[in-house]
Structure 1
């Protein structure tokens, strides 16, 4: 047994009162290492560990707990969360998002978007893909999206050398004209914030859970837009979603791509490469 395994076993036993009898690697995430655990009482858990003091795991535990308390979104129950260890129940997954599970997901997400807040933003800053996501409260959605999503992420990418300066300037130019396409939503809606295939768990054709949130109160269309960027959800999802929460005209024609500029900028910071070209093409489309 390695020293790392022994330390994890000690932390888990202190948190649950049960011994770890088996552990196996699951993945390496943006924040830390992820392993599956089987305990002496038969329970199976997921443990995320991190060596640094950044506090991303504690924040992730907070966000999962917030969703559990304030919505019906199926998320893992958190047993322990601190800067170095996040311990949560193991939800079964590995299935494919077919038409029926997409329709079920639409019902779940539509209900989540029915949870409203006092303003846009959140009570604390969050993260997306491990990157800081500022959430100051604002009554102005368009201004919030311009300043604390597009400009924030573009300037960070410029500072890090991931986004050329002239493209960051064009993001700023587009941010100043968002009102041409985006109106104030009906109300600030609670969103998961990072809704892509890897964060949606399917088991035996049914949605079993959602993981790795990046929550705040927003125009729910920003969530729907991201769900199309990498093909997470398609026609079955949107047909069912609109039966519950109809979309205003213009979403698929314009607003979807505008909102997807934000996750594209996130991916520029995380991965660079072709995502810079995607940002440039989108800016060109909207005349920036």
Structure 2
């Protein structure tokens, strides 16, 4: 790896240390002879992800928003080199949450022309289809909820009876969900592991899963593992108020999508939250 990096970057590598990245990829922190520090992802074994797509998503966030993301220095199908973002091991405190709210609200505030994106993207290692559409609810229904559920059922991860219940929910989404004021660019995978903190501030957001959608699905995702809480929502809603009913119902419905992602990746331990959400709406 050291020789390949030196040849690709045209600069010496003075140290190379492993770091965890997941999904069958190898991760490294590299110190370069010119003083820079870079983060490296490399495909290994049976991993099939094209790392150029992650580079594309980071580049789109850098071009179209002020969200702090690492700059990409090299992208090849099996190799990605980007800025190493320094952190100090600090947790996500209320002060950090308020800073995150400012950044994410600014991302969501800019109107985009359509739902979906100019190309398909990924969430983790899984395909994320992004046909361009004028309405949010059909996009979410067909290309997030049902697309992930049907793939999970076809691969034996989701019981057929649970898929049938999700399909019944899909037919009623207009009853529960709302169309946003406009499509918004989303990071798409905001959870604790993708939020980097330094000195009580957000240092960066990594591992995006971008597309244009309803901000509420992004906000719901932030509650899935307790990443953000009341301080975040108070600061966010001071900038972009939410319609009534988000916390009471719509957040749980939107979390079905990332929960199905986890069913696909990690198995049946993530089925009970789906059962509870469906039972909560009488399905």
2:148 pairs with 1:159: no
Which of 89, 103, 106 is equivalent to 1:108?
Answer: 103
CA distance in 2, matches of 1:176, 1:150: 11
What corresponds to 1:64 in structure 2?
A: 58
1:152-196 deviations in Å (ceiling 9; x for gaps): 000111011111000011111101100001121110000000000
User: Could you say if the C-alpha distance between residues 53 and 158 of structure 1 is closer, same or farther in structure 2, counting changes exceeding 3 Å?
Assistant: closer
1:11 CA drift (Å): 2.8
> In structure 1, what is the Cα distance between the partners aligned to 2:24 and 2:257?
20
Question: Where does structure 1 lack aligned partners over 5 or more consecutive residues?
Answer: 1-7
Alignment match of 1:257 (pick from 249, 252, 255): 252
Q: Which structure 2 residue ranges, 5 or more long, are not aligned? A: none
Post-superposition CA distance 1:237-267 (Å, at most 9, x none): 0000011000011100111001001011111
Partner of 2:31: 38
Structure 2 match to 1:272: 267
CA distance in 1, matches of 2:29, 2:96: 25
Q: Distance in 1 between matches of 2:21 and 2:141?
A: 32
1:55 Cα deviation from its structure 2 partner: 4.5
Find 1:75's aligned residue among 54, 57, 69.
Answer: 69
Q: Which residue of structure 1 lines up, in the alignment, with residue 216 of structure 2?
A: 221
Superposition RMSD in Å: 1.2
Q: Taking structure 1 as reference, are residues 53 and 279 closer, same or farther at Cα in structure 2, changes over 3 Å only?
A: closer
CA gap of 1:53–1:34, structure 2 versus 1, over 3 A, is closer
Structure 1 segment 119-134 matched on structure 2, within 5 A? 119-134=114-129
TM-score (norm 1): 0.95
CA distance in 1, matches of 2:241, 2:257: 23
Give TM-score, length-normalised by structure 2: 0.96
1:148-227 equivalences under 5 Å are 148-227=143-222
Return the offset for 1:53: 7.8
Aligned equivalents of 2:230 and 2:50: distance in 1?
Answer: 34
